[in-house]
Amino acid sequence: MKKYFIFAAVLISISISAQSRQALLATALKNSNASDSSFLMRDSVIAHFYYDSESDSMELADLKSQKLITQADVVYMTAQLNAYKPHLWTSDSIPHSKIVPSSKTPSAALSFKKSTKAWTDYFGLYKSGYYEVSEPIFTKDGNMAIVYVSFQCGAMCGNGGATLYKFEKGAWKPVKNLFSWEKQPH
């Protein structure tokens, strides 16, 4: 009987975590102006909330120095970043999303001329830009998390950034914009 209760508690915890993660992702996308009814999202899950692991570490150290997270949180969040395994979002990962295969999205490594052509081809298929989203990185107690979201809409069109969220009063709320960017025409 005792084993049954432990198993049930673990299942409830996993279910709550999945619901909380999905609510966090929905909040992050809404915070980035994604539609509540339907939007396009690239299938690839972003590995970092900044450019690379060194930059992620500097962001975490900065949050610690601002006393927004603890050293234990830095260790826990770094372990999550280091444990990342490439995977894909599915249509049930995030409410209201329609998944766009990465093979159909223009590569960021293209020259401007090739990128412009690739975006023209992309818009011929999808008619709208797409969102990219990172895997959330949670603090040790699970009450704070960082999510990176970007919107890609052309060779010289797009914006994004990472935000620290806190779970309070039953909802995820933005606490601090860690960084943001926007593509600007020359």
**How does pLDDT run across 135-161, given as a tens digit for each residue?**
999 999 999 999 999 999 999 999 999
Which residue type occupies 75? V
Distance of CA 150 to the CA centre of its chain: 8
Q: Residue 172's beta-bridge partner residues?
A: 167
User: What is the pLDDT at residue 17?
Assistant: 65
| Residue 31 or 7, more confident | 31
CA distances from 9 to 4, 16, 79, 98, 139 (A): 9, 10, 25, 33, 21
CA distances from 54 to 20, 114, 140, 180 (A): 28, 31, 20, 18
User: What is the pLDDT at residue 167?
Assistant: 95
For residue 46, give the nearest of 13, 93, 92 by alpha carbon. Answer: 93
Confidence of residue 14 (pLDDT cuts 50, 70, 90): very low
Highest mean pLDDT, choosing among 29-33, 107-111, 158-162: 158-162
- Rounded to whole angstroms, the Cα distance separating 89 from 103 reads 14
Residue 109 pLDDT > 50: yes
